[in-house]
Structure 1
Amino acid sequence: MLINERERAAVCIVGNANIDVLMKSIDEVPAWGTEKMVDSYEERLGGCAANSAVVLASLGQEVHIVATVGEDRHGDELRSTLEEAGVNVQGLKTGRQRTGMSLSLNRRDGERLFVTYPGTMFETSTDEIVAYLTEEASSCKLLLLTGYFLLRPDLDAERILTHATKLGMLTLFDTGWPLEDWDEGTRERITKLLPHVDYFLPNEMEACAIASEPNDALAAEQLSVLCRRGVIVKRGRGGSTYQDKQRKLEAQGYRVGVRDTVGAGDSYNAGFIYGLSQGWELARCLELGNAVAAAVISRESGFHVKWAHIHELLEGSSKLGQCSANLL
């Protein structure tokens, strides 16, 4: 199966751009007052919006980013990395605070935790986003609002999503994990936004938490009723599923050696969105999302994915299962 790489609809990604510092191979979090050595560390571009934007640009997609960085070395690095990747950075403004930064402690099995300084992540306003969509994003037919809980607390997501819909865009939404965990108010805030979302993109833990369900299949059924189109649940090694009011699709993951899993969900989003932008069937979009995420977590090139590796995964024997569809 050879992927058609022609460009079609451009994508606008709204969210956070920051620096990630990855401390690798930590099996146990050290206690207060103690110290722990690591095998290696890496400092690189991070943030949900920036990660997805670089992957999409690497796939050959026209992509815009709307985010804020600081007037500092890290902000300059982020802007330069995004520009070099081919991302349209006209919507990347310079804020008053320092560029946001996340410290990631990574276990050998790929699990991780984050400690984050938000900095300029909280500076992108609703008015700025709406203005950009109206004035600068006429070529964009898809909007991804991502890293929601790492954006300013007063962000009016409903207004942004509704405005994008009025402009004729498909809307996609990825919340991430809330800073204060999933209380009832947070769940209600998210479920009230879903009627304005075409495709919701939680991982399995987030889906279960939002829906208060014990497994992601039940959670997807509940959440899909609220969305304009459907829910995609990212399941890590288990691949991904799509659920809407009439059908369920499943696409299995891939056997790959894991370098680190930071940005895996953002990379999946990019692959899925690329497929949508090309007008592909949803089953094929799921498969591409899985393959792109697998490529990113297994290669030193990180978010700068190559089509040769994607084709190798899609056509090879590393898939853990086959794509299936069930009509409900």
Structure 2
Amino acid sequence: MAIYVIGNLTLDLILRSLEDMPSWGIEITVENLAYRVAGNLGNFSFAARTIGIKPIIIGNIGNDANGKIVLRELKKNGLDTSLIKLEEDKKTSLTVVFVRKDGERTFITYSGQLNNIDNCFLQECLDKIKPNSIVILCSLFQLPNLKLVDVINFYKKLKNRKCKTLLDTGWDLNG
């Protein structure tokens, strides 16, 4: 049974070991930084791969250096990237993750190519998904141009094709 994962691919810039966030106009330093391919779609795909599941990724990246990094890292980890769309007119989503010494985090995200995930994108996905598959939509709330009604209609069409569906809403940007 194929597992398709649709949603947000981002590149994370993780800055660790902050005591507190600085006030505006103040510069501080951090002890550690890392880049990581993420977004809920990326996180799920990497986790699934570590337990032997090879999901098929349906997402998009921008036509920039960050998009190339995302694609390279996914391929390096043996993930199926054949259904990732290159958005020529967009930059790849980037999230800056600030991590306090106690582990608490906060995120600031540039949406980039995620703005192109909309109802038309979902309809294009239908042609790529085999019947009797598992379909996971990741991070609905981080896909600003995707409406809940469109997701409901998409899931109804998948149900008619005997697919099992899961929804990861992610963090609601509106509270």
- TM-score normalised according to structure 1 size: 0.50
Could you tell me which amino acid in structure 2 is paired with residue 26 of structure 1?
L
Match in the other structure for 1:68: 60
Deviations 1:152-190 (A, max 9, x none): 334421122222222212111111112221xxxxxxxxx
Match in the other structure for 1:168: 162
Number of residue pairs matched by the alignment? 172
Is the CA contact (8 Å cut-off) linking 1:149 and 1:178 kept in structure 2? yes
Match of 2:13 among 21, 41, 65: 21
Could you tell me which amino acid in structure 1 is paired with residue 51 of structure 2?
L
Could you tell me which amino acid in structure 1 is paired with residue 170 of structure 2?
G
Paired-residue identity, %? 25
SS of the residue 1:161 aligns to: helix
Change (3 A) 1:140 1:101: farther
Could you tell me which amino acid in structure 2 is paired with residue 131 of structure 1?
E
SS of the residue 2:162 aligns to: coil
Is the CA contact (8 Å cut-off) linking 1:21 and 1:103 kept in structure 2? yes
Could you tell me which amino acid in structure 2 is paired with residue 60 of structure 1?
G
- Distance in 2 between the 1:148 and 1:19 partners? 17
Match of 1:125 among 111, 118, 129: 118
Match in the other structure for 1:291: none
Task: Tell me which of the two structures has the higher relative contact order, counting C-alpha pairs closer than 8 angstroms and 6 or more residues apart.
Answer: 2
Is the CA contact (8 Å cut-off) linking 1:11 and 1:140 kept in structure 2? no
Match of 1:143 among 135, 144, 162: 135
Normalized per residue, the structure richer in strand is 2
Q: CA deviation at 1:49?
A: 0.5
Deviations 1:57-113 (A, max 9, x none): 232213111111111111111112112222222221011210010000001222100
Is the CA contact (8 Å cut-off) linking 1:14 and 1:66 kept in structure 2? yes
Normalized per residue, the structure richer in helix is 1
- Distance in 2 between the 1:53 and 1:40 partners? 25
Is the CA contact (8 Å cut-off) linking 2:131 and 2:161 kept in structure 1? no
Is the deviation greater in 148-157 or in 72-81?
148-157
- Distance in 1 between the 2:65 and 2:5 partners? 23
Q: CA deviation at 1:50?
A: 1.3
2:24 is the alignment partner of 1:32? yes
Match in the other structure for 2:3: 11
Unpaired stretches in structure 2, ≥5 consecutive residues: none
- Distance in 1 between the 2:115 and 2:17 partners? 30
Change (3 A) 1:132 1:147: same
- Distance in 2 between the 1:32 and 1:52 partners? 35
The structure number with the bigger radius of gyration is: 1
SS of the residue 1:32 aligns to: coil
Change (3 A) 1:39 1:21: same
Is the CA contact (8 Å cut-off) linking 1:19 and 1:101 kept in structure 2? yes
Is the CA contact (8 Å cut-off) linking 1:19 and 1:46 kept in structure 2? yes
Q: CA deviation at 1:139?
A: 6.6
Deviations 1:191-229 (A, max 9, x none): xxxxxxxxxxxxxxxxxxxxxxxxxxxxxxxxxxxxxxx
Match in the other structure for 2:49: 57
Match in the other structure for 1:178: 172
- Distance in 2 between the 1:137 and 1:88 partners? 14
2:97 is the alignment partner of 1:104? yes
Across the aligned residues of Structure 1 and Structure 2, the Cα RMSD in angstroms comes to 1.6
Match in the other structure for 1:77: 69
- Distance in 2 between the 1:176 and 1:86 partners? 25
